[in-house]
Amino acid sequence: MTTDGRDTRWAEHRLTRRRELVEDTLRAIRKHGAGVGMDEIAAQAGTSKTVIYRHFGDRAGLYVAVVAAVHEFIHADLRVALELTDADDLRVLAHDLADAYLSLVERDPDIYRFVLSPPSLEAASIDPYGGLPELIGSHVSRAFAGHLRRHGQDPSCATTWGHGLVGFIRAAADAWMATEPRQPRAVVLAELDAFFTPALAVGLAAVPPRQEQE
């Protein structure tokens, strides 16, 4: 069976147009806030609501596409930040992860609020984080496990610690974004450091030696 070149070009056109409409939606959110309306999004895109609905079905479909784009961006930035961190110092890793996440949230607060505000009961069933905590949590868990192995310690707690750290930072960021007036990011980061630095020191000291059969 052969593929009609026109079908391929049309599919590519639709993907390109969807990406453009998502970018226009992000611009509209930055301009009008997390409660942006479809009329404002259509005006930003220079098109009609009918065209947007043709590509996404409804506002919930557009929400899903925006969430996916935001997660791709956040994941890429956090992965780069973690790759630049000295994985042998878990306190620095915790600090750098918190700093990178809070920086991303602060840079685009209205988009972050939009992602956390599904437009309908149907969209509310969608995980607004789209598996992002699991992706980052797995990355941090591997860093924790590597650190513990290098120091001759049992790495079995790494998964709990890695995912717990990401969840803690995410919850702190959500609370920070929901508070008005917001504290300066440096204050929130210092508060996270004040918690994680002694917690990791005590936790690392309590991890037993690695078993020989591992």
Is residue 5 pLDDT above 80, yes or no? no
Residues 109, 149 within the same domain? yes
Pick 2 or 27 by higher pLDDT. 27
| pLDDT at res. 13 | 83
| pLDDT at res. 202 | 94
Read off the pLDDT of residues 128-185 as tens digits, 9 standing for 90 and up: 565 667 878 888 899 899 999 999 999 999 999 999 999 999 899 989 988 889 999 9
Structural domain harbouring 170: 67-206
Is residue 52 pLDDT above 60, yes or no? yes
Residues 22, 94 within the same domain? no
Asked, for residue 153, whether it belongs to a domain, the answer is yes
Residues 41, 94 within the same domain? no
| pLDDT at res. 73 | 82
| CATH number (domain holding residue 110) | 1.10.357.10
| pLDDT at res. 122 | 60
153 backbone dihedrals φ, ψ, rounded to 5°: -110, 160
> How far from 195 is each of 10, 12, 106, 114, CA to CA, in Å?
53, 49, 21, 29
If one counts the domains in the chain, the total is 2
Residues 47, 90 within the same domain? no
Residues 92, 20 within the same domain? no
Residues 112, 175 within the same domain? yes
Pick 83 or 51 by higher pLDDT. 51
Residues 3, 101 within the same domain? no
Residues 5, 45 within the same domain? yes
Is residue 44 pLDDT above 60, yes or no? yes
Asked, for residue 161, whether it belongs to a domain, the answer is yes
Asked, for residue 214, whether it belongs to a domain, the answer is no
Residues 94, 85 contacting (CB under 8 angstroms): no
Is residue 79 pLDDT above 60, yes or no? yes
Rounded to whole angstroms, the Cα distance separating 105 from 50 reads 31
Residues 201, 115 within the same domain? yes
Is residue 82 pLDDT above 70, yes or no? yes
What is the value of pTM for the model shown?
0.77
Matching residue, tokens 């506002």: 59
